[in-house]
Amino acid sequence: MELYPYIKSLHLIFVVTWFAGLFYIPRLFIYHIEAWQKPSPEKEILSTQLKLMTKRLWYIITWPSAVLCTVFAIWLLILMPAWLQQPWMQVKLGFVALLCFYHLKCHQIFKQLQRDEVKYTSRFMRIWNEVATLVLFAIVFLVVLKNAFNWIYGVVGIFVLAILLMLGIRLYKRIRDKNPNA
């Protein structure tokens, strides 16, 4: 148990860096998608630069952080196996599974954009970008409160947050439509 605080600290550090990558990669996807709407040669120049940026972010920060976060999480569960019996931990692991799905879907989108396959709109990507935020809120509240939520408040809270995020996206779109440089 002497190692517990160190392992927990490393787990939290890699949670932060993993989320940093998951927050930034969709933003780069948005820029990449919007670059395809530019005229040549701007489109090609931007696309080349954005491919390099996403590749470095994805393979140097995001993937290693996801792997190390998971390794330290498993180590913590080995040290504290009773946590697996706790309802809050079971719910948290459900959200972690959702986060892993999100990560893998981002990987799929990353690979498509690396091949110059643009299958999504920038608006879809702006909404997609908020999924990690919702998962982060859910996980942090579960871990801090250490209970599986009063489901009514938890579900309502996540929906309110999602609605606020969607309203923010719409407001940003209106501002951007009025001022394309915003």
Q: Let me know: does 142 contact 149? Beta carbons within 8 Å.
A: yes
In this prediction, residue 117 carries a pLDDT of 96
Q: Could you write out the DSSP letters of every residue in 143-156?
A: HHH-S---HHHHHH
Domain ranges, ordered by start, for the chain? 4-178
- HSE-CB at 176 with a 13 A cutoff on CA atoms is 8
Determine whether the annotation assigns residue 111 to a binding site: no
Residue 149: partners with Cβ closer than 8 Å, 6 or more residues away? 88, 91, 141, 142, 155
Residue 182: partners with Cβ closer than 8 Å, 6 or more residues away? 172, 175, 176
Residue 146: partners with Cβ closer than 8 Å, 6 or more residues away? 86, 88
Q: Which of 62-76, 120-134, 138-152 shows the lowest mean pLDDT across its residues?
A: 138-152
What is the number of other CB atoms lying within 10 angstroms of the CB of residue 19? Answer: 20
In this prediction, residue 27 carries a pLDDT of 96
In this prediction, residue 177 carries a pLDDT of 81
Determine whether the annotation assigns residue 178 to a binding site: no
Whole-Å CA distances, 5 to 12, 86, 104? 10, 20, 30
| Tens-place pLDDT, residues 30-78 | 999 999 999 999 999 999 999 999 999 999 999 999 999 999 999 999 9
Residue 114 pLDDT level (bands cut at 50, 70, 90): very high
CA 40 – CA 36 distance, rounded (Å): 9
